[in-house]
Each structure stands twice: as C-alpha cells, then as structure tokens.
Amino acid sequence: MGEWSFLTNHARVLACIAHDPGVRIRDIAATIGITERSAFGILSDLITAGYVLRDKDGRRNRYRIQVHVPLQKDTERQQTVGELLAVLVDTKTRAELQQGVEVTD
C-alpha cells in the first residue's frame, strides 16, 4: 500500500509555517517529503490566494498566515484558515489562533 495522507500538501505547508513563520523552503520540503520546487510552488499558490503574506527579513523571508481568510468553498459553512490550523497545530499556536493573533515568533 502506497503512502498517503488525509491532508493535502497545501495544508501541510500551512502547518509548517504556523509552527515556524521563518521556516525555509528547504526545511518545508524536507519536513513534508516533497521537492523544494514543489514546496516553492505550493507556497506561491498560498501567497497568490491570499492565505499567506511574505515579508523580507534581511536575506530571509518570514511568512504571516492570514487566519481570517475563508477556505475555498469545500464545505457548506465557510471556515477560516485559522479554524483549520487550530486543529492541526500545537496548543500554544492554537491559543494564538483562537485569539486572532497573527502567527509569528
């Protein structure tokens, strides 16, 4: 039986950013088990869709998840990115998301 996951790689990238807003694309790729090119493409999709903002921090990037943005219409009730991440991330980050705080370290 091949490897599979309940979560898409897009959701897994969001979870990586929630855990570490300064995470490098190389580290996202290694954590998820995809190529750097795929990780870059997914991150670009998330930025283009408005789920993530990218800020320059010297030579590095920092990412801010827009927790108030609704998910694409996959469900009857419009859920936000923050509600999804509240299920996927650790307790500290979950508390920040529930308070509406931007996820940053």
pLDDT at 7: 83
**CA-only gyration radius of the chain, Å:** 13
Q: Which residues of the chain have a pLDDT value below 50?
A: 101, 103-105
15 part of a folded domain = yes
Domain contains 38: yes
Q: Is position 39 within any domain?
A: yes
Main-chain dihedrals φ then ψ at residue 73, nearest 5 degrees: -70, 70
In 3D space, the residue among 39, 45, 91, 89 whose CA is nearest the CA of residue 67 turns out to be 89
Full-model pTM: 0.73
Q: What's the confidence (pLDDT) of residue 73?
A: 64
Number of domains in the chain: 1
At 28 the pLDDT is: 97
Q: What is the pLDDT of residues 27-40, one digit of tens each?
A: 999 999 999 999 99
Dist CA 13 CA 29 (whole Å): 9
Q: Residue 95's pLDDT is what?
A: 56
For residue 20, being part of any structural domain is answered with yes
Identify whether 104 is part of a domain. no
